[in-house]
Structure 1
Amino acid sequence: MTAEGTTERVLRLLSLLQRRLSWTATELAAELGVTDRSVRRDVERLRALGYPVHATAGVGGGYQLGAGTRLPPLLLDDEEAIATAVSLRLASGGTVAGAGEAALRALAKLDQVMPPRLRAEVRAVHGATETLLGPGVEIDAELLVTLARACRDAVRVRFLYAGRGGEERERTVEPVRMVATSRRWYLMAYDVGRDDWRTFRLDRMREVAATTWRFRPREHPDPVAFVQRGVTEAPYRHLARVRLRARPEQVRELVPPQVGRIEEDRDGWCVLVTGGDDLDRIAVHVAWLGFEAEVLDPPELREAAARLARNLVALAGAGDAGSGALGDSR
Structure 2
Amino acid sequence: MSRMGATLGTLAVLKILSEGAASRERLLARLEEEFGIGRDERTLRRYVSALREAGFEIRSHSGKLELVSSPVRLPFDEYEALAALSLLESVAGQEPVYGGHLASAAGKLRRALPEGVLKFVDRGRVEFDLSPASDPPEDPHVIDTLRQAAYRNQRIEMHYYSLSSGESRWRVVEPVRVYHAQRAHRLYAYDPESNEYREFRVNRIGEVKMLPDKFSPEAHTRQLKPARVWLNEKTFAAYGKYVIPDPHATVKPQDDGTAIVEGSVANIFWTVRDIAALGPGARVLGGPELKEEFLQFLRLTLNQYS
Larger Rg: 1
Q: Larger relative CO (CA 8 A, sep 6+): 1 or 2?
A: 2
TM-score (normalised: structure 2): 0.41
TM-score relative to the length of structure 1: 0.39
More strand by share: 2
